[in-house]
Structure 1
Amino acid sequence: MVPSSHFNHIRDNTDLKLELKIPELNSQFARNSHNIPPYAQNKPPKPPNLALKISMAAKTTEAPSLSFPRDIFAALSPSPFLLAHLSPQTPSTPSIRPNGRAPSEFRKPTIHRGSLTHCSGSAVVRLGDTAVVCGVRGEILLAADIPNPPSAPPQPAATDASDADADDEDDSAELSQLSLLVPNIELATGSTPTHLPGSPPSTLAQSLTARLRALLLSTRLIRARDLRILHRAPPPPDAAATPDVPPTEEAKAYWTLYIDTLFISLDGNAFDAAWAAVVVALRDTRLPRAWWDDDVEAILCSDVPAEARALRLRGLPVAASFAVFAPGGGVGDSAFRDGQEERAWVLSDPDAFEEALCPEVVTVTVDCTGGERRVRRIEKSGGSTVGRELMKGVVQRAEERWKDWLEVFGVGNS
């Protein structure tokens, strides 16, 4: 067994070696002491004074201020963003929409006729950042190719009196049964972020097409007589015995109008822009003179531009759309449903940003030709904010909008 004194001797030698090494280390650190920063030295830090402690505490408790750019605020909180513009802090300050317009203010329209030379009539209409082009093509539909033609009696020969009576003729059924008016709407690639290239016709395009066709028929804008290609039948053998019987004409063919509308850019209120483009294009339409030739038993058309005739439209109907913004009832309005005074704003000619926040939309079509206001059609979807009293104000705005379009069309109020 090893005596304990032996271990004590080893411990004493170890201490001796440490004592020998420590002076060498101390001298080495002493030589390099100028390279050691103060915080690395083994010294207790000095306590800061009281004033420094108070200032540091004040800086830590102060809430940081956050500010977002206008576009970021509109993207994160669109409904409060619109409400902040429509609800000024002082009653004397008028409400201004984010686009800089008043709630009852429309965008100024611009039109250009005859842009497409390969069409019978064309027009380009622009409402702010919404631009649409419309072209009208006329194609001939033979009466012999109609499976079940509408039962229409032979028409008397065209006279001034018959042209005047054509205004009172209810020809909407004939136009509808024969499908003589074929509107179509397309969205160009890049016209709106929601339209993907290569996709089938969107719900918006199909609904706009159906609304255009319904409005064309309900307003009786186009006369069926202008689309008929009439042929005067040869007199019967006993015509000399009945000289008082006027000659009659029968429809050998019809003009079918294909109304193609293309949105170049879309920033809200698509229907008003599309309808205006259709009306301007129809006013610009010229159909060549066509007749039935008994020798060749076919329809012939004249290539003389001076013989082409324009469409005689009934009146000048104008569509005006309005969006109703009601905080607490729209998309993303959960913050305003409790403790917020109920108020609604009727926004004239809404843009794309406002349409996304307004589920209730009203479209009024009026015609004030001749100094008499006639409401041709009222369409309303979503919501129940607009009542009878508010609808009267909407119709009044639509009448003012009709006057704006009258100046743009450049026609007299007759």
Structure 2
Amino acid sequence: MANGSIAAPGLSFPRDTFAKLTPGPFLHAHLKQPEPVRPSGRAPEEGRNPTINTGSLTHSNGSAVVRVGDTAIVCGVRAEILLASDVPRPPSDNAKEADLIEQLGLLVPNVELSTGCSPAYLPGNPPGTHAQSLSYRVNSLLNESNLIPLKDLTIEYDEPAAEEAVLDEGPTTVVKAYWALYIDILCIALDGNAFDAAWLAVLAALQSTTLSKAWWDADREAILCSPLAADAHKVRLTSLPLASTFAVFSTASPLKQRHQGESWVIADPDGFEEDVCKETLTVVVTPKRKGHGGILRLEKRGGSIIGKDLMRRCVSMAEDRWSVLEAALRGG
């Protein structure tokens, strides 16, 4: 300069530094633009496109690897035979199929967040509440959705009629065993919205699951399985419930009313957005066919921004996203 003084350097930080120092204002600065855009470059209502690969685990009955953004899930299904004689409390004859599957424990999911899947999960730490919560949510949705018909999981035997029985009386069909499916879900990379990715991996793995032909051998009094792949059959899914999670970012403070702040609905939030947003809504929908289908489950957590109108909007977006997820499952 003319007087010989040196100008002070300008204060500027890299983009990632601002995101870490002030995550809320950083996200707000993106969303308040004339055309709102998230830090990831997505529009507020834009979800990430999943990629699905099935059959990756050769020693399981079914498997899938699902990647949604930087969240990656591996799911493997292992089938074991449960003898009916080993069931401590046989179910009643008038019990519903869904109740039977739950009572017998024929679908057993377990979610693990592997060490190193995100900076929050360090070596040597015990399983946290997040993994336990995900296991519970997946388990309850499996039972609630009646996903697999009970007949596909039963091994029956036609007992011949006794000699003294009436001639017109045919053989009696009895259940000798069940197939129990152990569904192991491992998150190897976590960048938000773990439940949607985990549930998608479960559906993809179950779609690829094959069960050996099994029958009761009366002479040996044991269950035998055919070693031939041609005799195996795939597990049928009665429906295709798909989950979509939405987060709400709001500038309203706890001391102000809702209308005094701005709010945005964010579809398929990533890890950064999950840390900033305090309210989420998960919508599980099934395809509408012959008057059936629609909303299967709504899960709302935290906050008070989401009302009836906003919930209807999220349901509509979930129904639109169903076709995207279904196409990814079909292509996997």
Map of 1:23 onto structure 2: none
Map of 2:304 onto structure 1: 384
Alignment of structure 1 residues 101-116 onto 2, 5 Å: 101-116=42-57
Answer yes or no: is 1:140 the counterpart of 2:81: yes
Greater share of residues in strand = 2
Map of 1:365 onto structure 2: 284
| 1:219 positional shift | 0.6
| 1:200 positional shift | 1.6
Using the alignment, how far apart are the partners of 1:263 and 1:94 within structure 2?
34
Answer yes or no: is 1:97 the counterpart of 2:16: no
| 1:410 positional shift | 2.1
Greater share of residues in helix = 1
| 1:173 positional shift | 0.8
Give the SS at the match of 1:368: strand
Q: How many residues end up aligned between the 2 structures?
A: 329
Structure 1 residues 148, 390: CA separation in 2 closer, same or farther (over 3 Å shift)? Answer: same
Map of 1:291 onto structure 2: 215
| 1:379 positional shift | 0.5
Using the alignment, how far apart are the partners of 1:170 and 1:64 within structure 2?
73
Map of 1:395 onto structure 2: 315
Map of 2:62 onto structure 1: 121
Using the alignment, how far apart are the partners of 1:278 and 1:207 within structure 2?
16
Preserved CA contact (<8 Å) 2:110 2:184: yes
Preserved CA contact (<8 Å) 1:315 1:369: no
Preserved CA contact (<8 Å) 1:231 1:251: yes
Structure 2: runs of 5 or more not aligned = none
Preserved CA contact (<8 Å) 1:373 1:399: no
Alignment of structure 1 residues 179-328 onto 2, 5 Å: 179-241=105-167, 243=168, 245-328=169-252
Deviations 1:39-59 (A, max 9, x none): xxxxxxxxxxxxx8xx57xx6
Preserved CA contact (<8 Å) 1:103 1:345: yes
Taking structure 2 as the reference length, the TM-score comes to 0.93
Preserved CA contact (<8 Å) 1:366 1:398: yes
Preserved CA contact (<8 Å) 2:217 2:223: yes
| 1:222 positional shift | 1.2
Using the alignment, how far apart are the partners of 1:211 and 1:180 within structure 2?
16
| 1:85 positional shift | 0.3
Sequence identity (%):
51
Map of 1:374 onto structure 2: 294
RMSD over aligned Cα atoms: 2.3
State which of 68, 90, 93 in structure 1 corresponds to 2:13. Answer: 68
| 1:236 positional shift | 2.3
- Tell me which of the two structures has the higher relative contact order, counting C-alpha pairs closer than 8 angstroms and 6 or more residues apart: 2
Using the alignment, how far apart are the partners of 1:329 and 1:390 within structure 2?
19
Using the alignment, how far apart are the partners of 1:108 and 1:149 within structure 2?
44
| 1:251 positional shift | 1.0
Whichever residue aligns with residue 117 of structure 2, its letter is: S
Using the alignment, how far apart are the partners of 2:237 and 2:129 within structure 1?
30
| 1:312 positional shift | 1.4
Give the SS at the match of 1:68: coil
Whichever residue aligns with residue 197 of structure 1, its letter is: P
State which of 25, 36, 49 in structure 2 corresponds to 1:80. Answer: 25
Structure 1 residues 173, 236: CA separation in 2 closer, same or farther (over 3 Å shift)? Answer: same
| 1:311 positional shift | 1.1
Moved more, 392-401 or 142-151: 142-151
Deviations 1:213-243 (A, max 9, x none): 00001111011111111111111224453x2
Structure 1: runs of 5 or more not aligned = 1-51, 154-168
Preserved CA contact (<8 Å) 2:161 2:172: no
